[in-house]
Amino acid sequence: MIRPANLQDAQNIANIYNYYVKNTVITFEEDCIDSKEMARRIKKVTELNLPWLVIEENEILVGYAYATPWRARSAYRFSVEATVYLNPDQQGKGLGTQLYQALFSALKQQSIHAIIGGITLPNPASIALHEKLGMTKGF
């Protein structure tokens, strides 16, 4: 089930995110974050009327995706950066695809016309996901 995130999801989202902070370089963060900081991030995104979605399996939150403004200048107001994270043991099940499809659909309804995905390399799984959804390399 995919649904909008709420502040009560902050701890579960932080747990997923912190796995990547501890075990990879893809977040560009060096320290784990707590549920309070994650709640602040969720609130900031949703107050901009941008989607933050979670996916559950058997009522357990196993992943999330959201969009943030790409740049602050007015000309970029229809452009966002999209992000998706899954619990590591849930990868390869198509959940990232489901989350991104739902996110992209919500963004289309908001007249967003450019979605940017930043990928730390090497990351063949992330590249495959983004290309599967029609995204192309920009540089």
What is the per-residue pLDDT across 98-115, written as a single tens digit (0 to 9) for each? 999 999 999 999 999 999
Which pLDDT does position 137 carry in this prediction? Answer: 86
Other beta carbons within 10 Å of 54: 22
CA distances for 97 relative to 19, 68, 76, 91, 101, angstroms: 20, 18, 25, 10, 6
Fold of 2-132: Aminopeptidase (3.40.630)
Residues 40-67 pLDDT 10s: 999 999 999 999 999 999 999 999 999 9
Which pLDDT does position 110 carry in this prediction? Answer: 94
Other beta carbons within 10 Å of 130: 22
pLDDT band for position 138 (cuts 50, 70, 90): confident
In this structure, what token pair is assigned to residue 61?
């939150």
- Average pLDDT score over residue span 27-43: 97
To the nearest 10°, report the CA torsion of 67, 73, 108, 131: -60
User: Can you list the alpha helix ranges (DSSP code H) found in 24-135?
Assistant: 35-47, 95-109, 124-132
Which pLDDT does position 139 carry in this prediction? Answer: 64
